[in-house]
Structure 1
Amino acid sequence: MKKVAIRVGAGLAVVIAVLLIVIATRPSAYRVERHTTIAAPLDLVFTKVKDFRTWEAWSPWAKLDPNMKTTFTGNQGEVGAGYAWEGNDEVGAGRMTIAAIKPNERVDIKLEFLKPFESKTENGFAVEAAGKETKITWFMSGENDFVGKAFCLFMDMDAMIGKDFENGLANLKKVAEEAAKTEAPPAAAETVNAAAPK
């Protein structure tokens, strides 16, 4: 029995060693992105993603916990603006901070997860005109540590996060297209105000 136990133990050690090597040699960098086209002005679409206060209307995670606590800091829509959340097991806790903005082109966001595990990643949106519509790309990129590599060995990061991005962009498309029908463009509003009798 001792010999059998030794062989089993040795075999298990080899399996664990191979698994550790496989995990350690996996690529650490990852990138997930999805895009859609929205029948709304570029500046309107951009406003919906650069201002964290608008996220509740389209974020794929906003409805997962109706009791989620949220906090806004800084001047929303500007570099340094922040958004923090804390909720149930489905949404966890974390914060986002706008790291850079190119008006009507791109917004870069520093994303930090605090619960259920800690991790940091780069997140953001790029927008461009597509005829009379707006193409928007939602992207996330970062570096996995050993634990992250092990997690991705059994879970497809692109499929998991990508599905949330697809749902969020579908929600954003609906929200922005409805807003385009009801909200007057800034230039049009200025013209109306200028023409109004004083």
Structure 2
Amino acid sequence: MKQRLLIVLVVLLCLTAFFAGIVAVQPEEFHITRSAVMKATPDKVGERIDHFKAWADWSPWAKLDPNSKEEFEGPAQGPGAIMKWSGNDEVGEGKMTILETRPGEYIKIQLDFIRPMVASNLVEFQLEPQGEETKVTWSMSGKNNFVGKAFHLIVDCDKMIGGDFEKGLNSMKALVEAPPALTEEPQSKAKPDADAVLEKPAEVNKPSEQSAPVDSVTTPPAP
């Protein structure tokens, strides 16, 4: 019995050592990037990124937890702007801080995770004008500690996170390419609707001022 337990223990130690060896040789850093071309100016696209409150309109994680909480600190946009969030297991908890902004060109963000795992990564947005369009490149990079290496070994992070980036870019594309909402014409220039015409009789239906009133017409007596 003891011999069997010893064999099992040795096998487990060998498997653990083997797995640890594989983890150890994984890359020290990771880099995930996705791009999309949008029919909008770099400034118009940049406004959706530089304002954290605007992320709710296109972020791929905004709909994962309708009850998530967001807090905003610092300036509304640009370096120093901060957004903190806390939600369910899919959203987790963390903080984003804008480090650098070059309007219409580049935005750098420090991304700090608290849940489901502690990590600090760098997020960048590159805006490249292409005629009347803009190429938007969204990337995230960071260091891989042992836990991070093991996680990347088990989970295809490029596919998982890259897929979220693609969803976010598609949402942003639809948002910035949408035509502006049509505004109503001023009341003085608006055409009268059918109900208004029906409620107000036409002038031709009114009796003429020069016509004799109905009760002024006489009828000759019967013979």
State the TM-score, normalizing by the size of structure 1: 0.88
Report the Cα distance in structure 2 between the residues aligned to 1:28 and 1:88, rounded to whole angstroms. 29
- The answer for the alignment partner of 1:187 in structure 2 is none
What secondary structure is seen at the aligned counterpart in 1 of 2:66? coil
Greater helix proportion: 1
1:19 aligns with 19
What residue number does 2:7 align with?
7
- Structure 1 vs Structure 2: percent identity of aligned residues? 42
Shift of 1:66: 0.9
| Rounded Cα–Cα distance in structure 2 between residues aligned with 1:3 and 1:72 | 61
Residue aligning to 1:99: 99
1:115 and 1:9 map into 2 onto residues whose CA distance is: 33
Aligned to 2:180: 182
User: Which is higher, the Rg of structure 1 or of structure 2?
Assistant: 2
For structure 2, the 5+ residue unaligned runs are 182-223
In the alignment, the residues of structure 1 paired with residue 173 and residue 84 of structure 2 have an alpha-carbon distance, to the nearest angstrom, of 24
Consecutive aligned runs of 4 or more in structure 1 exceeding 4 Å deviation? none
AA in 1 matched with 2:131: G
Deviation per CA, 1:51-79: give whole Å up to 9, x if none.
Answer: 11110000000011111111111112210
Matches of 1:40 and 1:172 in 2, distance apart? 11
CA RMSD in angstroms comes to: 1.2
| Residue in 1 that maps onto 2:135 | 135
Matched position secondary structure for 1:182 = coil
Bigger shift: residues 22-31 or 166-175: 22-31
Query: Which shifted more, 93-102 or 5-14?
Result: 5-14
Aligned length, in residue pairs: 181
Q: Which amino acid in the other structure matches residue 25 of structure 1? A: V
Correspondences of 1:35-184 after superposition (within 5 Å): 35-178=35-178, 181-182=179-180
1:108-155 deviations in whole A, cap 9, x for unaligned? 000011112211100120001111111100000000111111111110
Name stretches of at least 5 consecutive residues in structure 1 with no aligned partner.
Answer: 184-198
Q: Deviations over 1:143-173 (max 9, x none)?
A: 0111111111110110010000000000000
Distance 2:125 2:163 in 1: 16
